[in-house]
Structure 1
Amino acid sequence: MTLSDPRRPTGSWKPANDVEESMAQAAAAGDTAAYFRLVESAPLYLPGSTADRAAGVQRFVTRVVFGHTYVLAFTSVEGLMAHVGVLADASVATTYEELRRHWPDAGWRLAVNPGTPVDAYVRLESVAEAARGGVRVASAATMVAQAQADLAGSGMAAPELESALTEAIRTADVDAYVHLLLGAVVVVPTTEPVAGPAQIMEAGFPWRITGGPESPSIDVFTSRAAFARAFPEPVPHVVAAFRFVLTAWPDDCGLAVNPDSPSGISLTHEILQMLRLWPTSAWAAK
């Protein structure tokens, strides 16, 4: 389970209601029990669609984070629409207890307010235990280290990955490209040296932003060879799981993967928002 650091970069995020204000205070104080008591008692809002509502169908929007499938839930409609408006045009009000009664898959987990400074990723059954102080919260650094180790042990070799990405572009296989990218460890150039990937979560991380104020973008490279081709002279950088990099991606910045390479693509920040929420399947039926 992870409760995020409220000091990390959050763009223009502000609490939308008293619940989120209290969550921010609990997170800042490191009071995990108080935070999860709010999750237990507050209204929760799930992304939905007007078409499903008209048809009387309830579905769950999911996101895969570090290999686990999470159901997305928010403590305000404003937060929901700001972060998953590209996937949903309506919301469904529920509660933690109602979710427990109708949980679709025992292997799935709960993501509360994903993409905000008051987010948490937790097993559903752990919420009640955490609310009573019975669960220890893992640090962001621990979560990153585990993801790095998992990906390092299972990922493709760099030339093989670049060849697969190039083939996905040639065949216009978007699903294959995204699957490969989300499973990759990438090199991210920075404007100054950083201690390690966990620093990505901190305020003031030195992103190397290109493209100017009209179309800002950040480059990532799927191998050190691709990075070296773009930067023959040494520049500061960090190596991190791409999925982790996305969790702290700056607002309004696009993405360039392996720029000026046959394996490269560029995405606007609007498309990147969809990539950040890319699930194993677009919708998972209840």
Structure 2
Amino acid sequence: MKQGVATVADAWRPTSELEHRLQETVRAGDQESYFRLIAESELVVPVPPDLVDGVLAGDAQPSWPTQEEDGRVHVLVYTSASAMRACLGPSYQHFMTVRFGDIAETWPDARWWLAIDAPGKGGAALPIEARLPSWFVRQVAEGDGRPPQVGRAAAPWEELRDQHRDLPRERPEFQPANDVERELLRAAANNDHDLFLQTLAATEVLLPVPGDTDYTLRPGRPGFPWQTREVDGSTVVPVFTSPERLTEASGNVEYIKLPFTVVLRYWPNHDWLLAINSGSPAGGTVLAQQLPGLATWADQRAAQRMTEGFEPQNDVEQRLFDVARRGDTDAFFKLLLGAQVLVAADADTPWGIVPGDPDFPWRPVPVHGRTSIQLFTSLKWMNEAIGSSRFIMPSLLELVTAWPDPSWTLVLNPGTPIDASMPGDQVRTLSGPATPPSASTPPPPEAPAVPVAP
């Protein structure tokens, strides 16, 4: 602020109990309490002045107000009408109130961020403003306001003393083994959680496994041998970004290499922590409660990266891709009902077995923190998700008719532009005439939007 010049932010005062409490958390540096308050609140969504007449006349639908900052698109919301006008100016008179949980449920784009009480052009910056990536919006809505941890926490004296006995007097300077570790090191040094997670989301990691592991077995299949450690009373699964980091932490152990998104997607236990590059400056820890939201975000990013060059493996996938780009959920599932799908099976599973058979291989696994049955529309997506496996090919209609447990979620082609999920209590409601795979569908729009999971 220039000396002698007052701004709206200088004169701003909280106008509600929510804003008073948010201001207290900011002053105390208590981010977790800030986000918990936000999770339980109703927020103001501005209606831009140029859209007001159309919205009031019923000629236009309200849309998410956005603003680009530092190359990122932010959805603008505010904690009160007063805060909105302080940040955007007096021309903003109309708004909607939306609960934070509803914002998370209807989030428009995984690449966008949420900006709370952020200033518009020429507007005032309020002391309670915040910006959240989309995966963290979902996490906060689910009741967990803890931001990720980056860097290694200080070790207790006993651990340091024991390490000191085995280490040389002078430790060599840390040398990143690859570009990923250079980015992680930079993110950890700057406490940049977003850069840290975005770097990991686009890379492959090394996951330790026992020496006698069947190397066709992957996370996402029952019986995968997750390796854990106990650290300060918590169960931790370690992953690494290079053989060098793995050897430093664990010695010469066997491992498999797979996308970081796969590790997140099939996280096995709600109480386990994820440790990246344990003991390294290019490392960090993700809390168990943060993993489901982070996994969903990572899969959405993966699907978006695949969209432009997506190669359907068959006619059904081409048509699913077309309707997914139009966002037509009903057409998506009607088309799918008439198609055969791949279901992973054990080596001794009879080929002709049907979903109604008592021995049908229902093999639920955790996907995004929910117990799920995975289905695929081609061998390519099944192999990329869970590795090589025996499979059977019932129709989706046969599966939903015999669906055995309403607590199981149906998951299709996770991490692809033709992914979908449906809660188990809705699966059996799928009905109506199935669209035969050979039927034609309208051509995709000229400028398709990024598809979202139906």
TM normalised by structure 1 equals: 0.44
Question: Relative contact order (C-alpha < 8 Å, sep 6+): which is higher?
Answer: 1
Give the structure-2-normalised TM-score: 0.29
Largest Rg, 1 or 2: 2
Name the structure where helix makes up a greater proportion of residues. 1
